[in-house]
């Protein structure tokens, strides 16, 4: 199999998933709207407590991103599993981890990227300084791909379950905790005038580790779910 053939397959899969997401606009927008609602509720509830709002703002935005990701994760492979597309992917002879990465990228473009773009606006609602707002967006840019990649592992392991949503949350939420802690701490360090280099390196390390280890784990999980 040539690299050109693999490239065409990955591009076609990515285009297909994005096209399907555009056709289901309401379903696609739900996680982003949920994300905005969570932040807005905290903003309205603590509007009079500006200092408290600034203190908890990064954590609230990150919590909203995690919950929004959870809402959209189950659909990453579920439709393909039900209509037989997933089985064809496994039998296609293409490297399954590479196909997994294409689907994860499509998921991130549809759900993670809008969260990153909305972060400066939502950070402003939380009364964060301008520099902290952009730091919040940068941490989400590094962290939301991890949400998608790690979440894909949980989805692959729960595909065969009739009601896998709760099990999926129990599997992936503990894995998200270090990411949320580091992402929140990065914004707080910048807001306090500190140097966030070590936090950025930690986020980059988490992203690289997830990208290196998760695709193979997802591929193995998908094969188990199909047996």
Provide the pLDDT for residue 20: 85
Low-confidence ranges of the chain (pLDDT < 70): 1-3, 46-49, 162-164
Provide the pLDDT for residue 207: 93
Measured between alpha carbons, how far is 227 from 216 in angstroms, rounded to an integer?
A: 17
Q: Are 160 and 222 in contact (CB under 8 A)?
A: no
Site of tokens 């910048």: 190
Site of tokens 């929004």: 68
Provide the pLDDT for residue 21: 82
Q: Are 118 and 32 in contact (CB under 8 A)?
A: yes
Q: Are 186 and 143 in contact (CB under 8 A)?
A: no
Q: Are 196 and 189 in contact (CB under 8 A)?
A: yes
Q: How many CA atoms lie within 13 A of 141 on its CB side?
A: 9
Provide the pLDDT for residue 78: 79
Name the DSSP class of 161: S
- Chain segment 156-196, per-residue pLDDT in tens: 888 877 666 778 888 888 999 999 999 999 998 988 888 99
Measured between alpha carbons, how far is 125 from 34 in angstroms, rounded to an integer?
A: 16
Q: Are 164 and 74 in contact (CB under 8 A)?
A: yes
> Taking the model in full, what pTM does it have?
0.88
Provide the pLDDT for residue 145: 93
Residue ranges covered by each domain of the chain: 3-226
């Amino acid at each position: 199999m040539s690299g050109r053939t693999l490239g065409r397959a990955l591009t076609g899969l990515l285009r297909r998933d994005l096209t399907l997401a555009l056709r289901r606009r309401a379903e696609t927008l739900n996680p982003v709207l949920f994300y905005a609602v969570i932040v807005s509720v905290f903003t309205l509830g603590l509007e009079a407590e500006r200092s408290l709002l600034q203190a908890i703002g990064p954590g609230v935005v990150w919590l909203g991103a995690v919950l929004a990701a959870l809402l959209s994760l189950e659909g990453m492979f579920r439709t393909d599993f039900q209509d037989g597309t997933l089985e064809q992917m496994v039998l296609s002879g293409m490297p399954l981890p590479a196909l997994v990465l294409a689907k994860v990228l499509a998921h991130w473009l549809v759900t993670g990227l809008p969260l990153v773009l909305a972060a400066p606006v939502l950070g402003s609602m939380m009364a964060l300084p301008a520099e902290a707002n952009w730091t919040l967006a940068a941490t989400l840019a590094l962290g939301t791909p991890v949400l998608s990649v790690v979440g894909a592992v949980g989805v692959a392991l729960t595909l065969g379950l009739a009601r896998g949503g709760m099990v999926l949350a129990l599997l992936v939420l503990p894995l998200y905790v270090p990411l949320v802690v580091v992402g929140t701490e990065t914004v707080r360090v910048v807001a306090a005038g500190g140097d966030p280099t070590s936090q950025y390196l930690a986020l980059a390390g988490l992203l690289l580790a997830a990208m290196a280890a998760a695709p193979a784990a997802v591929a193995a999980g998908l094969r188990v779910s199909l047996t």
